[in-house]
Structure 1
Amino acid sequence: MNIIQCYAPTNDSNDDIKDQFYERLQSIIEKCPRKDLTTLMGDLNAKVGIDNTRYEDIMGRYGLGERNENGERFANLCAFNKLVIGGTIFPHKRIHKATWISPDHTTENQIDHICINKKFRTTTEYVRSRRGADIASDHHLVVANLKLKLKKNWTSGQTALRRFNTAFLRDTDKLNEFKIALNNRFQASQDLLKEEETTVEDNWKSIKEAFTSTYQEIKERRNKKAAINNSRTRTEIIQAQTEYIEANKQVKKSIKVNKKKCVEELATTAEKAAREGNMKQLYDTTKKLAGKYSKPERPVKDKEGKPITEIQ
């Protein structure tokens, strides 16, 4: 399986920047073996829309809005590489299609995508956005459910061992249930075997059946979750959302105040450096004020301590 996570330039970006991005993305896709499952996902900043004319093989008619220039580029890339755009092939409500919302909460677009190569199209059960994540972002989470059917190569002459997942027995209540149920089954088996002449093989089968059937019985019990539909719960959710929005506003307001204070301090430092003739400090401070100051990057090093400069 190959997963490609990317962040594309916005629709208003320079064409040269867009060309460079899609050329780089194409080169990465070409490195993925055709027989492998390849997933391309991320913030593509591309609206593909609902019209799938000429793109019937890689998208459905359940997109959102109208296709823009970035959407055209993205659709062409997917068509060339036979990548199906998952967010367009499943019918959903509008709120489950939109992946981005404007700061004023008036505009919604579908610009984040999850794609899978056409060969594995049937493994995708659904793709949709999920709202309500506790993150300060104008994007919604986009999720996809894939169901793979993996083949196992059996070696002739060998019997496959069945392994039981006993992790649920770490729960004390489940463990006690298991002990009681197993004891009851053993008792019933012993009473039955006493009435007949049995062999070692019969005893072993009885013990094995007791363990396996008890395991399945206890493991498959599920605690039913109560439906959250009472008015008190809904009120608490609305109140929590209101408190979150207010807290988020306060955080953004605090950031603006601190940013303004930082700019004023830098301006004071620059004026002082100019009066004292400290040109180096004046130059560095001016770059910070202009937003062009950046710390030197620290390259990732390999095991031998040499900087990695190529794609690994």
Structure 2
Amino acid sequence: MNIFGPHKPSRRWTWHSPGGEYHNQIDYILIKRRFQSSVNIAQTRSFPGADVGSDHELVMMTFALRLEKSKKRGNIRIKFDVDKLKDPNILTTFQANIGGRFAPLLALENDQDLTPDDLAETFNETLTEKASKLLGKPRVKKKKVDD
């Protein structure tokens, strides 16, 4: 974060040349963009005349930290280009692939070792795999702006 805002130039300068002829703003306080709203811009400035034993000025920033629980993303929903299913060739290919893959699942249904959760997970994995191969992701359509 650099010193910005409505400060007079002497409070924005952070370095003075040894002769005092040149002044620059070369010292910075770095913060992440996430915390940028926590900075009080009016209170961010340099302190000319502070005795720090250097040709640099003391830079101060008032920072009011507001913590918020980070939002965890759950399962990301995968979107498929279902408009491709309007094509009869792709539709029959998709149905044949899906039907061929679920015939063994129906045979496994009578097996006592598999739980309904295992069957549902296998169903979802198979469907997602085949849909991603045949349908793919939808193209992002840019909105047209009319003048």
Structure 2 length normalisation: TM-score?
A: 0.42
Report the structure, 1 or 2, having the larger helix content.
1
Q: Which has the higher contact order (CA 8 A, sep 6+)?
A: 2
